[in-house]
Every structure is written in structure tokens, then in C-alpha cells.
Amino acid sequence: MENAAIEVRLRERVRLDVFLTRRLAQVSRSRIQHHIESGAVLVDGRRVRPSHVLCGGETITLPALVGRRLEVSAQALDLTVVHEDDDLIVVDKPAGLVVHPVGGEFERTLLGAVHRRMEARGEDPRELGIVHRLDRATSGLLVLAKRLAARRTLSQAVEARRVHRAYLAVAAGVPPAVRGSIDLHIRRDPVRPTRMQALDRAAVEALRHTLRRAHVSASGYSDPRLDVRPRRARTHYALLRRLPGASLLRLRLETGRTHQIRVHLQGIGLPLLGDPLYGPDAAAALAPALRAAHAALGRPALHAAVLAFAHPRSGDWLRFRAPLPADVRLLLRGLSSPPGVTP
């Protein structure tokens, strides 16, 4: 295929890989970075790094970067749609469903299911894209943009922390106060890179003198598998209900790090029930009811219950709530707690 040219028009400076990710709704940032590194993407005829900063006025030359053909690979799924209009769709994602194609999982995804839904309704799905993500095992509210302009606006709102998200979680143990904040840095575990670590200020200070920039590749961007730098993270919590040996919590993210709620709760000694990565280490020491609940749930007891943001076109404030899913309600009943909790 012939190369395409994009003339850059900007109001503010932005990285090349970020700019292209916003422009190309169906192409992942990692794939865009790969094309930039390989020299397939040029800025004013020159090879640059993915971290190259665009100032406006440049011409980007790139091949036809076509995302995985969702219309061929994606499965149609029954979705719980909370809201839909010409610009966006808000879905209550079930636990176990991956948000977008990753690795060998590309047929049964939320993105693909919405793509199929739009096609069936006679809508053009080519600009459909993810605004934010939830872990596969986490249930709850997620917004997808149906138009590229809406995706840009909503993505900027997420980056500026103008999108409000609140979660419900069932943790082993009870917090020391009814309300509080968790201020622990988070980094990737250097020994087990599929996990994250929570570090206090003393641990962060100790690391400052030992960390090197070996995680930065020759192209100048961080390899997420090797980047073990600690980053600031803050989670706010409120105790909604005391349970026998456990608690129902409402949580709000001030930052959005990988596995933030799960690793933060583990870091203060309140691990999520059912969490295979950060759950109670000494499950055998739990009370029988908690031990059985932790083993039976099969996924972290975490649900994205509230989502609020300004509509990207009208500016109207939208607020959505999703009730606790059946598995978490069953968990609460097993712990002798009333299931009807309003986030």
C-alpha cells in the first residue's frame, strides 16, 4: 500500500506516538511505536523516536496502519448498555471479558462486540475506540467513543482527571478509619513483572540511588516490561459496611496506575477477596467463611460502580451507576451482609 501523509496541526506540543494513537482509532500505541522504531513512520522525511515531540507544522509520512479487522474476527455478544448516543456508548462490562484484542484473545472482546453492534445497527464503526480500560477480571462501567473527535476529547478528560470513577470492593480486614487515603508509590515488580508493588516513601528514597535508565530502549521510550521506576499513586477510600473479618469499601482513584486499587489495598493489609495476584497470602489463616469466599469467587471482588464525565459534544454532565454483579452480591450474602448496597 502507498504511504499516507498527515500535516500536523496542534494547539500544544505532544509526543509522536501519542499523536498517532489519538488519530488512528483502531491501532494500538505499542504497534504505532513498533512502526516508528522500524523507520516506517517519518517526520519531515526523517526517522525519529516514538518520544519525538511534535510542535505543529510537521508532515508525518506513514504506511497504511490498519488495525486488526474486527468485522472478521469479533464475536457478537450480549452487552448491558447503560447509555448510547451518536458519539459514545457506556457499557456495564462483565468480569472475564477482555476490553480489546490482546495476545491470542481477539475474538471475544468488548471492543469487538461493540463493533458488531454498530454494524448491525447500520452505523459506521471505523472510528470506534477505547477511552479507558478495566482489567479483564474487573466488572463495571466503561465508556467507548464511536467517533474520533469524541475519543480525543474524552481521552484528554481522562488525562486531566476530569472523568470521575468510583469502585466497590470487598477486602479482607477492616480499615483503621471510616475514610482515608492511600499514598503509596507503585512500580512493576522487578522479579515478577506481571505484578506491581506498593512502596512507601522510605523505600522510594532508597531506590532513587540504585535505579538506572537500563529500562529505556535505544529508541528512547520506556519498555513497560523493564521499567521498574516507582510512580506516585493515591487512592481514596470510604468504609461502607463492616463484615465479619472483612469490609465493603468505596474507592476513588486520584491517579490511574496499573492494578492501583488491588496493590494499594494489599499494601495497607486489606487485600481484595478473590484476587489471585494480590489476595490474602495466608488464606488458611482466614476465618472459614472468608476462606471459602476467597477460594470460590475466582476473581478480585472489584466493581466499577460509578462513571461520570462531561459529554464530549454538548458538555452536559453525565453520571451512571452499575449495580453490584451477582457474584459479588453472593459473596456479601455469604459474609452475612445485605446485598443491596448503593454506591
Residue type for position 67? G
**Could you confirm whether 85 is annotated as catalytic?**
no
pLDDT of residue 257: 87
Residues of the domain holding 105: 70-160
Query: What is the C-alpha to C-alpha distance for residues 167 and 142, in angstroms, rounded to an integer?
Result: 12
Q: Does residue 55 lie within any of the structural domains?
A: yes
- Helices then strands, each counted (H, E), the chain: 9, 18
The arithmetic mean of pLDDT across residues 129-141, rounded, is 92
Residues 179 and 141 in one domain: no
Q: Does residue 218 lie within any of the structural domains?
A: no
- Under 8 Å between Cβ of 264 and 167: no
The arithmetic mean of pLDDT across residues 28-35, rounded, is 79
- Helical axes 288-297 vs 326-334, angle rounded to 10°: 170
Residues 173 and 152 in one domain: no
Cell of 29: 500505541
pLDDT of residue 221: 43
Residues 42 and 95 in one domain: no
Q: Is the pTM of this model over 0.85?
A: no
Residues 36 and 55 in one domain: yes
Which is more confidently placed, 76 or 213? 76
Q: Which residue has the cell 475514610?
A: 179
We report the CATH number of the domain holding residue 126 as 3.30.2350.10
Q: Does residue 109 lie within any of the structural domains?
A: yes
Whether the predicted pLDDT of 63 surpasses 60: yes
Whether the predicted pLDDT of 25 surpasses 80: no
Residues 123 and 152 in one domain: yes
We report the CATH number of the domain holding residue 32 as 3.10.290.10
Whether the predicted pLDDT of 20 surpasses 80: yes
**Which of 301, 309, 303, 308 is CA-nearest to residue 332?**
301
Which is more confidently placed, 317 or 287? 317
Q: Does residue 38 lie within any of the structural domains?
A: yes
**Which of 297, 305, 338 is CA-nearest to residue 324?**
305
Report for 3-17, 171-185, 288-302: range of highest mean pLDDT = 171-185
pLDDT of residue 68: 46
Task: Indicate the average pLDDT of the chain.
Answer: 83
Q: Does residue 316 lie within any of the structural domains?
A: no
Residues 176 and 286 in one domain: yes
Which is more confidently placed, 31 or 145? 145
pLDDT of residue 253: 92
pLDDT of residue 74: 60
Domain count, the chain: 3
pLDDT of residue 130: 87
Q: Does residue 75 lie within any of the structural domains?
A: yes
Which is the catalytic residue, given 17, 44, 135, 223? 135
Where among 62, 87, 107 does a domain terminate?
A: 62
Residues 85 and 177 in one domain: no
pLDDT of residue 204: 87
Beta strands in 131-262 (DSSP E): 139-145, 164-172, 179-183, 185-188, 196-199, 234-243, 246-253
pLDDT tens string 166-224: 999 999 999 999 999 999 999 988 888 889 999 988 888 888 767 655 454 444 444 55
Where among 38, 62, 86 does a domain terminate?
A: 62
pLDDT tens string 237-281: 999 999 888 999 999 998 888 899 999 999 999 999 999 889 876
Question: 282 CB contacts (<8 Å, ≥6 apart)?
Answer: none
